[in-house]
Structure 1
Amino acid sequence: MKILVTGATGTVGREIVKQLAEGGHHVRALSRNPGRAKLPGGVEAVAGDLAAPETFAGALEGVEALHLINFGGDDYAPLATGEQIVALARQAGVRRITVLLGGAATPLEAAVAAGGVDWTFLQPVEFMANHLEWAASIRAEGLVREPFCDRLSALVHEADIAAVAAVALTQDGHAGKTYTLTGPEVLSVRQKIDLLAAAAGRAIQLVELTEQEARERWAAAGFSPEAIAFFVEMYGNTPEIGTTVVPTVEKVTGRPARTFAQWAAQHAAAFAA
């Protein structure tokens, strides 16, 4: 099967490309800079921009399944080109579309749902890979600075998100479904730190920031007031979907979701002294 994966150099997209290629599928990986994509051998890297669908219309030739992300550009702006993308996909004969959701709904989802092609929406909670953001401070100082340290998360491994996407792209029975994706357990920030420390074989100190200190740090990092307000709401009042384990990964893929301890062991070197 020939499959086009957009967002192919992202955290989840790169895993989808890898798993589909390992499954023997012909994978085309869309990137704005394919020369720097560093994709697995045998994967066909193609140039294109989701915000300008005409740039990758040719890449859809012969494609049976398409994976989409719902934002474009470095600013993560919601895509406004959904109708054009879906029209091109339908004209090319694409049979299945998966969409990786994130945050609020965007126009893309409505366009895909109304586009006449079988679709599956993937709604993951917090990515385990997000914790690589802690790596620099752990390596340099042996500590993590975070607000809301008692907040809970049913965080999910990026490889499990990709595994569900790969099934939905290549097998029947998933059309018209929205899959919430979590890991197998709910953890606090403190528990995640303990698991990282065990995997890295070192002590890691947790320094809890006040909400105001967190706001100032995010502002200094260049986040907009809207993004900062979103972070405060998500961290300070995490919605139930983010703290409730569901068995979707195992039901779709046939194997248990990966734990954070497994993720930490795989990435232990990133947190080593």
Structure 2
Amino acid sequence: MPKYVLTGADGKLGSAAAAFAAEIVKPEDKLVFTSHKLSNIPKETLEAWQAKGIEVAEANYDDTASLLAVFQGAEAVSMVSTWAFGERRAQAARVIEACKQCGVRRICYTSFVGAGQEVEKEEDLPFLPRDHAHIEKLIKASGLEYNIQRNYLYADNIAELFVPCWQFCGDSWLNNTHHVRGAYVARDDCGRVLAALLLGRGQANKVYHVTGPEAVTDGQVMDWICDQTGYQCEFVDMPDAELRRWWADKGLPDDAQGDFGGYR
């Protein structure tokens, strides 16, 4: 009975992966979902998983002992990158080492578009892919088989992160993409890809690019949202430095560390 461990099943991406994995898992396979805190999982969701024979356990990327306890006997383990900037490289290293100690054969990782660029030094990469590029190298050097998926920008982030800023910015989308097209993808689709790869539906040692169906500009996205809702918004393309100064003048922190509760 092959055992597959899906970590972070309580997160946004992980919960989408968990839902699809529960649908497609074979009767002869053992499926284990983990959360860093089981209380984060709604009671009805937990009961539904357990009713399907899925084991649910607590495991934390910062706690090697918890990883070792869950990974024992696993054929494959999935690892979802966290928001812990400055710490997630060490988190990934712990997961990889725990996989090796437990005899796990394959690891699946959710990386990010741009992580595969060839550059002379890490600082030549845009900020967001840097940790992912580093973690990809750790995985490839580990001796484990792997499936890596480089997810493109989540379409969900526009509604969740960008749209709430438009009114604050004077009914404007202050934007520095300079009309470059991007293949936005739904987070749920990325989760389904992760579930499929974890359960062996991909090729070993292959990197997959997970994109949306069409590359579009942010201006096109904004026009569509306004057309659907009736909201009136202006798209304002700005140079990088000017946009950075604009937000700095409003008090936005220039790093990802610390307590930012006052900015909510």
* 1:37 maps to amino acid: I
C-alpha offsets along residues 9-59 of structure 1, whole Å, 9 cap, x if unaligned? 333222111111122465433333321233563164433321332232212
Q: What is the deviation of 1:125? A: 1.7
SS at match of 2:90: coil
Aligned match of 2:179: 150
> CA 1:117–1:143 in structure 2 vs 1: closer, same or farther (change >3 Å)?
same
User: How far 1:144 sits from its partner (Å)?
Assistant: 4.6
Can you list the C-alpha shifts for 1:92-128, whole angstroms capped at 9, x where unaligned?
3423211111312454323322333320111112111
Contact (CA 8 Å) 2:10, 2:40: kept in 1 or not?
no
Identity, in percent, stands at 20
CA separation in 2, counterparts of 1:13 and 1:94?
20
| Contact 1:79-1:107 at 8 Å conserved across structures | yes
In the alignment, which residue of structure 2 is the partner of 1:66? 77
* Counterpart amino acid of residue 80 in structure 1: A
Runs of at least 5 residues in structure 2 that lack an aligned partner in the other structure: 113-128, 258-264
In structure 2, the residue matched to 1:189 is 218
Say yes or no: does 1:33 pair with 2:33. Answer: no
- Equivalent residue number for residue 123 of structure 1: 150
Q: Is the 8 A contact 2:171 2:234 kept in 1?
A: yes
- Flag structure 1 segments of 5+ consecutive residues without an equivalent: 227-273
- 1:203 is paired with a residue whose SS is coil
Query: In structure 1, what is the equivalent of residue 135 of structure 2?
Result: 108
Is the Cα contact below 8 Å between 1:193 and 1:204 reproduced in 2? no
Match of residue 57, structure 1, among 64, 68, 74: 68
Residues 211-246 of structure 1 show CA distances to partners (whole Å, capped at 9, x for unaligned) of 4553145543334299xxxxxxxxxxxxxxxxxxxx
Q: Which residue of 1 aligns with 2:20?
A: 19
Distance 1:67 1:223, change over 3 A: farther
Instruction: Write the distance in 2 (CA, Å) between the matches of 1:225 and 1:89.
Output: 29
What secondary structure sits across from 1:116 in the alignment? coil
Aligned length: 224
22-31 vs 9-18, which moves further:
22-31
The aligned counterpart of 1:208 is: 236
Q: How does 1:108-257 map to 2 (within 5 A)?
A: 108-131=135-158, 132-137=160-165, 143-148=171-176, 150-171=179-200, 173-199=202-228, 201-208=229-236, 210=238, 211-212=240-241, 214-216=243-245, 218-219=247-248, 220-224=251-255
Aligned to 1:270: none
AA in 1 matched with 2:207: T
Matched, 1:96 2:124: no
The separation in 1 between residues aligned to 2:25 and 2:152, in whole angstroms, is 29
1:80 to 90, 93, 98: 90
Name 1:240's counterpart in structure 2. none
Does structure 2 conserve the Cα–Cα contact (< 8 Å) formed by 1:134 and 1:144? no
Asked if 1 retains the 8 angstrom alpha-carbon contact of 2:109 and 2:147, the reply is yes
Counterpart AA for 1:96: R
Aligned to 1:10: 11
Of the two, which has the highest radius of gyration? Answer: 2
